[in-house]
Structure 1
Amino acid sequence: MITAFIGIGSNVQREKHIRAACHELSLITKNLHYSPVYACESFGFSGNDFFNMVVRLDTTLTLTELSAALREIEVKWGRDVDAAKFQDRTIDLDILLFGNEISQKKPFVPREDIFKYSFVTQPLYDLDPNLVIPNDGRTVGQILETMSDPVALRKIDFQF
């Protein structure tokens, strides 16, 4: 079993799609743990506010298999196959970490978003503040302390 961390985001029918993503993940993996859900303004484009969270899970899938499974979930729930980076999303599923694996090709792990965006790092911190990021050596807490991300987060009272 590999422990992976998956970032989940939605800014289209947010509650419905966050729940759908969590349910879909429960069908393909084991031992899911959910961070709190955070709301924040869309970043990089003008759109509805996002809900973001991170899920820690155990999987027997390879990195490539998990990436393909996440892509299938996104498309199943209405994500455009050719979606650009900065646009509205029904479901956005990103592998943030996959055990201690380091991948310099798609899917890239650790995902660079961990170092850039508090809407990724804060929920990751909520799950495991002392987690050491492979190929970096810092903990999630140390990374979060040094972030200068301008995105303001609001914790949401979200019932799964």
Structure 2
Amino acid sequence: MQTIESHSNSVSSVAFSNNGQLLASGSLAHTIKLWDAATGALKHTLEDYSNSVSSVAFSSNGQLLASGSLAHTIKLWDAATGALKHTLEGHSNSVTSVAFSNNGQLLASCSHDNTIKLWDAATGALKHDISTDGIATGVEFSEHLPLLISNIGSFDI
């Protein structure tokens, strides 16, 4: 076991890649750090936010990293290089959670704006906009069913 200390403010979200090789940490200091999970070595610092990072998630193949922020945006990053691929805009309030579908084709995001959005992970295009009766704070795809689960309900996809 090891402790990794590097962010200048509280860490708000962490995620491992499916192969266990990378660890992503998002912080209230507006940064995301990508780490070698085995050694704890810092690989990349991603700094393209004007507000705190609220959520991070890897695609199933580990090639993409998604991050949501209090700045109402989602960013898609190349996990190997740390390069920004897309900025997804469409939420009108803080993004609370992001998650990739198991095949990596869709990205789900939820927000304090009472919506859940589904995005094309390759292009960043908005595919579906789901209005909700409350604030979704978490979203996850079912592993075996075409179902999106959130803290306020489940949705067929």
Higher strand share: 2
* TM-score calculated relative to the size of structure 1: 0.31
Relative contact order (C-alpha < 8 Å, sep 6+): which is higher? Answer: 1
* TM-score calculated relative to the size of structure 2: 0.31
